[in-house]
Amino acid sequence: MRLVFALIDTPIGAVRVSLEEGVLTGVDLEPEGPSDEPVEVAKAVAEQLTAYFRDGSARFDLPLDLRGTPFQKRVWKALRGIPPGETVTYGALARELGTSARAIGGACRANPCPIVVPCHRVVARNGLGGFAGDTGGRRLAVKRWLLRHEASP
């Protein structure tokens, strides 16, 4: 199998996507170093990310290979069901899935394809909570930006 990386410029900075045989396996919000493949390799991913950054209500329809535990996959499937512009709390999602808010946070942190699998739509009861394992700094600013982007008409 051939693993391909491509950098895509977005309003939140460069995003590196990882594909294996044309299937999205990862989205890195803080890539380091240059891309080893031209973005054309990830044309469908680039087109859908561009559409999303143009219109926050755009939805993703990409083939995904999300590698994780059965529990994580269950959470990621639930995340994909949260519509753009809406949020759910860690606690509410935990009750829906019969687990704990902390476990939901752990699955969100392990999400290999943020934005496409919208873990940014999961928030704390009183505030934003974290994003990609951080509770401040650039990643939380990205979460805030994504939520504002989706809420704008």
Q: Which two tokens stand for residue 41?
A: 């390799």
Integer Cα distance of 47 and 42 in angstroms: 9
Q: Which letter, b or e, does each residue of 65-88 get, where b requires 16 or more Cβ atoms within 10 Å of its Cβ?
A: ebeeeeebeebbebbbebebeebb
119 has catalytic annotation: yes
What is the number of other CB atoms lying within 10 angstroms of the CB of residue 64? 16
Q: Specify which residues 3 forms β-bridges with.
A: 20
**Which listed residue (93, 94, 119, 132) is catalytic?**
119
Residues annotated catalytic, as ranges? 119
